[in-house]
Structure 1
Amino acid sequence: MASFTLHGIPVSRGIAIGRAHLLAPAALDVKHYLIPQEQVEAEVLRLQKAIATVHKELQTIWNELPKDSPAELGAFIDVHALILSDPMIAEVPLDIIRTRYYNAEWALVTQIDELSAQFDEIEDAYLRERKSDIQQVGERVLKVLTGSAISLPSHDGDDENAGRMIVVAHDISPADMLQFKDRAFGGFVTDLGGQNSHTAIVARSLDIPAAVGMSNASALIEQDDMIIIDGDAGVVIVDPPPNVLEQYRDLQQRLMRERKKLGKLKKTPAVTKDGTDITLLANIELPDDCSGALDLGAMGVGLFRSEFLFMGRAGFVNKLPSEDEQFESYRKAVVAMKGRPVTIRTLDIGADKPLDSAEQTALNPALGLRAIRFCLAEPQMFLQQLRAILRASAYGPVKLLIPMLAHAFEIDQSLAMIEQAKAQLREQNKKFDPLVPVGAMIEIPAAALTLPMFVKRMDFLSVGTNDLIQYTLAIDRADHEVAHLYNPLHPAVLYLLASTISIGAKAGVPVSVCGEMAGDTRMTRLLLGMGLREFSMHPTQILPVKQEILNADLGAIAAQTKKILRTMEPAAIVQAVEQLREL
């Protein structure tokens, strides 16, 4: 068979070399037929039993989680159990059987497809990919209904790579990944998924090379094909020629040696060659992420995405977490960080990602009732979250971060509501830190261009580069047709970023960067040259970024960065940024 290469989305770095093990999705084999009326209740019972079986499976997986498993796995299994219990999955397909006389598999797939279509309307990539959780839950039920199960390979022979399994699937759930963890699971390739899919998050936590969003990899790759995953590039090479295989084996060995060296930096302070201290923080989705962040040397949490508490319920009606449930999650993170600051971002959700799936979505959701706009439009929900965050501040240092601010009145209203939440807690005699710092996310060009308005009102700023780039360049980064235009090195983006850092420094207001640029080692020295002293990133990126910092000479970098900021030609900027890494 001739060698060929597939291109997807890189979500977890590293090189994996091994044999392909294909997982066939049960949904592809679902039969569609009508059942006689007298057999309707028997068919309903068959689906109910399948759902109950999956509940038991998930509980068993959760109970048997290895102690060294990433904390994300337990939480994702909880989310799948929550979805499985929701009437949208547990009851609506039963009604479809009773009213349309569909067989159980057909009824379930019909409802899953309906829910998936609603999630396709969500603009935000992170929440849109929660569709995969619903599909994965449906997949588990279908496998029970059809009697199919995930089969694991048992390779024998003397091929040294045979035992390094590369799972190739249309999609794969985090729970299923556990089954591969103890079977020399070297990496995985999926047709679906993106940077923020649960599978991608778990891959980064397990530090397993992965490439997702491959479209048709599961159709093109055959069982036992030799595969190379280049996780850094999001490239999969199928049946590589001997010389390519040898090159990647050498690269894999070199990366492993470098990773061992990085491990020695965990307790090394992040200080540049010329003695400047840099603060490295972690982005987290779950309180349980804190232990891993601390282990990798994080000095605190720069971004706690509170959406996760709401996320498993997205598309399901009236299932918002209570104030106490939110408080407990925030408190758990604060306690886990052992005195290091935890920055909690208020709910970044909106009309493009409705909490009630029956709601109409905006015509242009990226520009709709998002984040703080949505929260100010739902004051009781916002106050509930603010109270929960403030209550957590009684257990350690908390910073409160407001997303997507652009107007003075939005800032003032947010601050007023924080004061109202404090007053409510005082009336209830509940403890909190009255001096919790309040910050703004700078992710809209209008905010970056009117910073004096922000530094006068806010205690700190955090630049969300993902959205800042998207809005500056008018590009939906999740739209494959224009994703190639998404460019963090565009002169306009660099200007807004540099001016935000500079104005914040002059005003004495701390500025951090919490978007993907913060964890990209190719950008580290450029950001240092702009004056950035606080980076927040996925925990697995802390050590590589720290290594860049330890080798950086700010004097030389700053002079070169000034030249870059005056450059308008894209090719010249890319070249100059590469040269920064050689200084």
Structure 2
Amino acid sequence: MTAAASARQILTQLHEVMASRMHAQGKLDKVVEIVGENLDSEVCSIYLLREGMLELFATRGLNASAVHVTRMAIGEGLTGVIADQIETLNLAEAKAHPDFQYRPETGEEKYHSFAGVPIVYRERAVGVLCVQHVEPRRYEEIEIEALQTTAMVLSELIAHAELVDEEEALGLNSAKSGPQTVTGLPLVKGLASGIAVFHQPRVTITQVVADDTEAERQRVYRAFDKMREGIDSMTSQAEFGVGGEHEEVLQTYKMFAYDEGWSRRINEAIDSGLTAEAAIERVQQRTRMRMREIDDALLADRMHDLEDLSNRLLRIVSGQLGTAATQGLRRDTILIAKNLGPAELLEYDRRRLKGVILEEGSLTAHVVIVARAMGIPVLGRARGLRGLVREGDEVLIDADSGNAIIRPAQPMLDAFDARFAKSRERQAIYAELRDVEPFTRCGTRIQVMMNAGLRDDLSSLNLVGADGIGLFRTEFQFLVSATLPQREKQFRLYRDVLDAAGEKPVIFRTVDIGGDKAVPYLRSGEAENDENPAMGWRALRLALEREGLLKVQARALIEAAAGKALYVMFPMVSEPWEFEAAKSVFEAQLKYIKAQKKVLPESINYGAMLEVPALAEVLDLLIPKLSFLSVGTNDLTQFLFAADRANPKLAERYDWLSPAILRFLKRVALATDGAPVDLGICGEMGGRRLEALALLGIGFRRFSITPVSVGPIKELVRKVDLAEISGLMNGWLSQPPPDIRVALQEWAEGNGIEVD
């Protein structure tokens, strides 16, 4: 008899048992007999979760008196380990396993070999199916697959026969059902609370046993065709580029999608009598087992690719396509995902989406850039997240500290609410400053502007009382688009932004993509993947090489600013010639538009971002050509310290208040002193109260920061005497104290100035 035929025989008999009028206990008793006979197994047992304990419900081979008597906790003994880890065990010698426990009432002392699989319902282990033999041996793969298929059928029986409580089935009384703390990497700081919603809801398999095998096979064939069409479409997109990581990933997907071995195993599972969904899930379980045994990181990644592809196929065959965004959010939500793209994040209702937790994610990921602009806290690299959180669980995110609490107890909720309340009180104070101009105690007007990048960000401009938009990141439109945004689309966005800003200035930064903000439709055909993407082919370097890109953007900006003042800033300028080259592109487009007799901007003001330290050495050559200069502290700092800000091990290795960065910034301020050029600061440094205090002391008078930071910085400005703080900073930069941060904090607190 073939393996598929043997498995089908078991499944046919199980189907008959399930369809019978027999009571649930009788069905379980029959199941252990069927499995035991077909696998020629001396022992077959079923343990189910009841009142938080695994209880022996049925057995063939062990002492019958142990049924409903033998109980063990989750994680206790081999059975408990299977339920706890939701994994399969296959042991030639059970007693050699460190978690083996002997239960004398079962009479199992004579059995050596052991194999067990979890019975899973709604992603929770609600029981264990296991077999034992006197003879020491490892079970063959076909035997393990038969056990896993039986476990799938048992999960269906459990759901319909209510063999375990609904709370047990949902895992509400499991060992992991109480409060759980998840640690991760803070990607976007902030506090948030809501219910857990999975970005990609797991497909619920409602029918395991097939009524018509051929019909199930045809469903799988159609799903494979649809999946392959989608992947072929992605790989054949125009301008996708040649070589590089994106193509490698898609080629790997394509290889798996057309893998005959994978489709054959699914067909074999269908031959055994499973529905299309159950067959895909069966093969996926086998993949997960293999993944746990793989030490090679690269091979493990490839197996993860296959897991993702299996989920994709399962969603297609079941018709359960789309994400949670398509279903709509009904309550305040914490979104749970393995990873997200920026366009996927923007599909969600911003009124309901309060926070995001990612199993992966990095500081430079596109979704993080967009989430920061949206003001949504994000916690990344939360390993094992899906094993701890369930759909609908209450979740608290503290992305300031880098953790989240799943199913918090009341004292945790109270403490969190207190922090929220304090935050709201401060926000109320800041809101009162919305229409108050930020003058220092000595009467100097400080410009407090905000950063933006999305059309929706404009609502914050008047809400927080910012002086304008000191940095509009035009690349967001490029990052969330599947193709290069056309000129008309860019024009509409820029016009809407200028109209919404009214009389307030908007500084448009030309597109900063490439490097660590790679887009699939723009790649260098010659360059290899950047080993250091932040310092690679990106921003102005990319735009000058792909001059057509900059020409289109220049024309869109100039036409959008008809009759208004246009402020244009070039990113990643390293030398004056780059600024001149970029400016000449705009001047050529201005000349062209003028020849078309179209309305021109009232004025065009050109500026540069100082992010590359080399530019500081030639500021005397560049300043006469500038209207304004903005220091981008995020990139500048990582370049100065040679510390990749995307690397969590280096994230705390540099300090914005170290003498090195402050002396550098002071030198830049002195270089612009007396020149008709407006000096500003962009980036996170300017939005932190203690750092902003230092920046005021070394000569910065324009800040462009996140909208949520505008109120706190305006409030700070009104408490500062510039002569006093300047004298203090000059002294400290000349003769630095052991820790400038500590010294400045102590001074601020002594002068009644609250800091972060």
Residue type matched to 1:377 in 2?
E
- Alignment partner of 1:327 is 2:504: no
Instruction: Show CA shifts across 1:97-136 (max 9, x none).
Output: 9954666999xxxxxxxxxxxxxxxxxxxxxxxxxxxx99
Aligned to 2:198: 23
Q: Secondary structure at the match of 1:276?
A: coil
- 1:479-538 deviations in Å (ceiling 9; x for gaps): 233233243223221112122123223223101111111222232211111121111112
Q: Distance in 2 between matches of 1:292 and 1:139?
A: 39
- The equivalent of 1:471 in structure 2 is 639
**Alpha-carbon separation, structure 2, partners of 1:201 and 1:514:** 15
| 1:121 equivalent in structure 2 | none
Cα pair 1:449 1:496 within 8 Å, conserved: no
**Offset of 1:477 from its aligned partner?**
0.8
Q: In 1, distance between residues paired with 2:475 and 2:309?
A: 20
1:495 aligns with 2:666: no
Code of the aligned partner of 1:290: L
2:644 aligns to what SS in structure 1?
coil
Shift of 1:447: 0.9
Give the Cα separation in 2 of the matches to 1:542 and 1:137. 44
1:349–1:370 contact (8 Å) kept in structure 2: yes
Aligned to 1:266: 434
Kindly provide the amino acid, as one letter, of the partner of residue 385 in structure 1. Q
Hey, what does 2:522 align to over in structure 1? Answer: 356
Which of 733, 743, 746 lines up with 1:579 in the alignment?
746
TM-aligned CA distance change 1:47 to 1:412, over 3 Å: closer
CA apart distance, 1:191: 2.5
Q: Determine the C-alpha separation between the residues in 2 that align with 1:200 and 1:504.
A: 33
Distance in structure 1 (CA, Å) of the matches to 2:673 and 2:585: 27
Which residue number corresponds to residue 594 of structure 2?
A: 426
Matched residue SS, 1:211: strand
Candidates 454, 462, 471, aligned match of 1:286: 454
Cα distance, 1:568–1:459 mapped onto 2, change above 3 Å: same
Residue 436 (1) aligns with residue 611 (2): no
Q: Which amino acid aligns with 2:185?
A: G
**Contact 1:204 / 1:540 at 8 angstroms: preserved in 2?**
no
| Amino acid in the other structure paired with 2:223 | E
List gaps (5 residues or longer) in structure 1.
Answer: 52-81, 107-134, 153-162
Counterpart Cα distance in 1 of 2:416 and 2:501: 38
CA RMSD of aligned residues (A): 4.4
Which residue number in structure 2 is paired with residue 518 of structure 1?
A: 686
Q: Is the contact between residue 227 and residue 316 of structure 2 (CA under 8 Å) also seen in structure 1?
A: no
Partners of 2:618 and 2:524 in 1: CA distance? 37
Matches within 5 A, 1:113-512: 143=315, 145-146=317-318, 166-171=334-339, 173-174=344-345, 177-178=348-349, 181=351, 187-194=355-362, 200=368, 209-221=377-389, 227-237=395-405, 246-313=414-481, 319-350=483-514, 353=518, 355-356=521-522, 359=525, 360-433=528-601, 435-512=603-680
Does structure 2 retain, via aligned residues, the 8 Å contact 1:348–1:370?
yes
Secondary structure at the aligned position of 2:740 is classed as helix
CA distance in 2, matches of 1:137, 1:288: 34
Deviation at 1:443, TM superposition (A): 0.4
SS in 1 for 2:183: strand
User: Conserved in 2, the CA contact under 8 Å of 1:331 and 1:395?
Assistant: no
Aligned counterpart in structure 2 of residue 13 of structure 1, from 180, 190, 195: 190
Q: Is the 1:383–1:418 contact (alpha carbons within 8 Å) kept by the matching residues of 2?
A: yes
Q: 1:320 to 1:298 in 2, by over 3 A?
A: same
Residues in 2 aligned to 1:22 and 1:98: alpha-carbon distance in whole angstroms: 29
- CA 1:308–1:236: 2 relative to 1, 3 Å: same
Sequence identity percentage: 28
Alignment partner, residue 695 of structure 2: 527
After TM superposition, the structure 1 stretch with the greater mean CA deviation from structure 2, 139-148 or 468-477, is 139-148
Who wins on radius of gyration, i.e. which is larger? 2
* Deviates most, 456-465 or 343-352: 343-352
CA distance in 2 between counterparts of 1:561 and 1:85 reads: 57
**Residue 57 (structure 2) aligns with:** none
Do the aligned residues in 2 keep the contact of 1:442 with 1:461 (CA within 8 Å)? yes
Paired with 2:217 and 2:466, the residues of 1 have a C-alpha distance of: 61
For residues 361 and 167 of structure 1, do their structure 2 counterparts lie closer, same or farther at Cα, with a shift above 3 Å needed?
closer
Shift of 1:38: 8.0
How far residue 186 of structure 1 moved from its aligned partner, in angstroms, is 5.7
User: Which shows bigger deviation, 473-482 or 92-101?
Assistant: 92-101
3-state SS in 1 of match to 2:625: coil
Residues 225-271 of structure 1: CA deviation (Å, up to 9, x unaligned): 76543243333345778766554433322222222222222111122
Structure 1 contact 408–453 (Cα < 8 Å) conserved: yes
Q: Contact between 1:351 and 1:368, CA under 8 Å: does it hold in 2? A: yes
Residues 190, 399 of structure 2: 8 Å contact kept: yes
Residue 206 of structure 1, CA deviation: 6.5
TM-score by length of 2: 0.58
**Alignment correspondent of 2:717:** 549
CA contact (8 A) 1:9 1:214 kept: no
Greater relative CO, 1 or 2 (CA 8 Å, sep 6+):
1
What is the distance in 2 between the residues matched to 1:476 and 1:24?
29
Change (3 A) 1:464 1:136: farther
SS in 1 for 2:562: helix
Distance in 1 separating the partners of 2:368 and 2:515: 25
Q: Give how far 1:430 is off.
A: 2.9
Task: Work out the CA distance in 2 between the residues paired with 1:553 and 1:144.
Answer: 64
CA contact (8 A) 1:12 1:203 kept: no
Alpha-carbon distance change, 259 to 169 in structure 1, aligned in 2, over 3 angstroms: same
The answer as to whether partners of 2:506 and 2:567 remain within 8 angstroms in 1 is: yes
Contact 2:657–2:691 (8 Å) recurs in 1? no
> Per the alignment, do residues 27 and 167 of structure 1 end up closer, same or farther by CA in structure 2, a change over 3 Å counting?
closer
Deviations 1:336-358 (A, max 9, x none): 11121111111212366364358
TM-score norm. by structure 1 comes to 0.73
Structure 2 counterpart of 1:437, one-letter code: N
CA contact (8 A) 2:203 2:315 kept: no
| 2:223 corresponds to | 43
Number of aligned positions between the proteins: 502
How far apart are 1:469 and its partner, in Å? 0.3
Q: Which residue in 2 is equivalent to 1:558?
A: 726
Corresponding residue of 1:132: none
Shift of 1:379: 2.1
1:436 is paired with a residue whose SS is strand
- Shift of residue 581 of structure 1? 3.2
